[in-house]
């Protein structure tokens, strides 16, 4: 074989092995060469730069992006997780687990931890490492219950299990997160057990939240593309871009003053501002606008976010794609 043919066969061999997932034995039979010849060809292809292996370590951190976010949003710490994972479920698990590792270094014994609902916070609780050095933690739900069937929305039960992991005690909210009327909310908030919860909200040492997307990000049960979301915000910049503990916020980080927010039984802005430390865990590019809204509240001390979403956030801000932020 001449050099040109060698390169062509090396490329073909590499594609069959890495792209088509064929075994070396199958490649040898297909190309009419020995199995050891396939192995040598793959090694040579790597030596000549035809094959490049790029490993995205989910336990690593993009220090450059982290530094930008820390400076720009005045964060105590930030983890930007490099990953090529496209599965939303796996992405959430990876980012949440990193949130758990960071939180395990911050959370202290004899403290009160507040937690929100949703997949991010649920996976955070599931992946939080068990430690004999953390104990006597009171775990407090940051909003009421939900009629959704997913375990990630059954906050009383997940709080109970998380408190066991932290060798602590759970607190429960026996009320829905969203009630029918403002008057209904007032009745719940006047109850003895809710007054006890409010007192705990006022003394949270560490809170863990995420960035939810409101229903108007979905059309015909399909997620609206991010470019369309940007158009929606530019058409009406007061429109909610996300939520914190079910309270809807706009792109500027303002809690929207509307009937919906007035019917929520949750911690709200006042007590989150009083919390000792607040961590936000965010994953998925479609949450980029929600992430901007959450970051603009100024509530976060810590942020854990995947690399692609972090890059998208900076692109939107630096290119001034949201007109009301210019």
Query: Is residue 26 in a domain?
Result: yes
| pLDDT at position 230 | 84
| pLDDT at position 2 | 45
Residues 134 and 10 in one domain: no
Residues 18 and 70 in one domain: no
- CA neighbours closer than 13 Å in the CB half-sphere of residue 130: 4
- The span from the CA of 21 to the CA of 9, in Å, is 16
Residues 151 and 231 in one domain: yes
Query: Is residue 33 in a domain?
Result: yes
Name the E strands within 121-197.
Answer: 138-141, 169-170
Residues 41 and 145 in one domain: no
Residues 42 and 165 in one domain: no
Residues 67 and 43 in one domain: no
Question: Which CATH number is 24's domain given?
Answer: 1.10.10
- The count of domains in the chain is 2
DSSP string, 109-126: SS-EEEE--SHHHHHHHH
Task: List per-residue pLDDT tens for the chain, 326 residues long.
Answer: 444 447 778 888 888 898 888 999 999 998 889 999 899 888 888 888 878 777 666 667 899 999 999 999 999 999 999 988 888 899 999 999 999 999 999 999 999 999 999 999 999 999 999 888 999 999 999 999 887 777 877 899 999 999 999 999 999 999 999 999 999 999 999 999 999 999 999 999 999 999 987 666 666 656 778 888 888 788 777 788 999 999 999 999 999 999 999 999 999 999 999 999 999 999 998 899 999 999 999 999 999 999 999 999 999 999 888 888 86
Residues 36 and 69 in one domain: no
* pTM over cut 0.85: no
Q: How many residues does the chain have?
A: 326
| pLDDT at position 88 | 87
CA angle 127, 248, 140 (to 5 degrees): 40
Residue 97: which domain range? 63-325
| pLDDT at position 77 | 97
Question: Which CATH number is 190's domain given?
Answer: 3.40.50.1360
- The span from the CA of 107 to the CA of 307, in Å, is 25
| pLDDT at position 10 | 83
| pLDDT at position 161 | 94
- The span from the CA of 70 to the CA of 262, in Å, is 32
CA angle 15, 19, 25 (to 5 degrees): 70
Tracing tokens 């006042």 back to the chain, one arrives at 270
Query: Is residue 203 in a domain?
Result: yes
Residues 102 and 176 in one domain: yes
Residues 301 and 201 in one domain: yes
Query: Is residue 143 in a domain?
Result: yes
Residues 227 and 291 in one domain: yes
| pLDDT at position 55 | 67
Name the E strands within the chain.
Answer: 77-81, 112-115, 138-141, 169-170, 206-209, 218-219, 222-223, 242-244, 247-249, 277-282, 302-306
């Amino acid at each position: 074989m001449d050099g040109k043919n060698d390169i062509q066969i090396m490329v073909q061999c590499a594609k069959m092995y890495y792209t088509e997932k064929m075994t070396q034995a199958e490649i040898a039979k297909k190309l009419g060469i020995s199995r050891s010849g396939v192995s040598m060809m793959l090694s040579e292809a790597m030596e000549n730069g035809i094959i490049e292996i790029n490993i995205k370590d989910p336990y690593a951190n993009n220090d450059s992006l982290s530094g930008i976010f820390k400076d720009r949003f005045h964060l105590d710490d930030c983890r930007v997780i490099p990953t090529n994972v496209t599965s939303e479920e796996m992405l959430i698990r990876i980012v949440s687990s990193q949130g758990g590792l960071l939180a395990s270094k911050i959370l202290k014994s004899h403290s009160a931890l507040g937690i929100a609902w949703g997949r991010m916070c649920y996976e955070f609780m599931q992946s939080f490492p068990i430690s004999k050095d953390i104990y006597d933690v009171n775990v407090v739900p940051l909003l009421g219950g939900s009629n959704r069937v997913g375990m990630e929305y059954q906050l009383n039960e997940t709080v109970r299990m998380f408190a066991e992991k932290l060798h602590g005690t759970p607190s429960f909210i026996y009320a829905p997160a969203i009630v029918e009327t403002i008057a209904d909310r007032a009745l719940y908030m006047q109850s003895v057990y809710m007054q006890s919860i409010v007192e705990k909200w006022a003394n949270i040492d560490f809170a863990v939240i995420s960035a939810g997307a409101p229903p108007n990000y979905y059309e015909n049960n399909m997620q609206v593309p991010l470019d369309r979301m940007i158009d929606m915000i530019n058409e009406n910049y007061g429109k909610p871009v996300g939520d914190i503990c079910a309270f809807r916020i706009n792109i500027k980080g303002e809690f929207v003053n509307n009937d919906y927010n007035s019917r929520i039984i949750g911690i709200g802005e006042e007590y989150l501002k009083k919390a000792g430390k607040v961590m936000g865990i965010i994953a998925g590019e479609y949450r980029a606008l929600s992430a901007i809204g959450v970051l603009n509240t100024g509530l976060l001390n810590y942020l854990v976010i995947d690399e692609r979403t972090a890059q998208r956030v900076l692109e939107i801000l630096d290119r001034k794609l949201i007109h009301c932020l210019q």
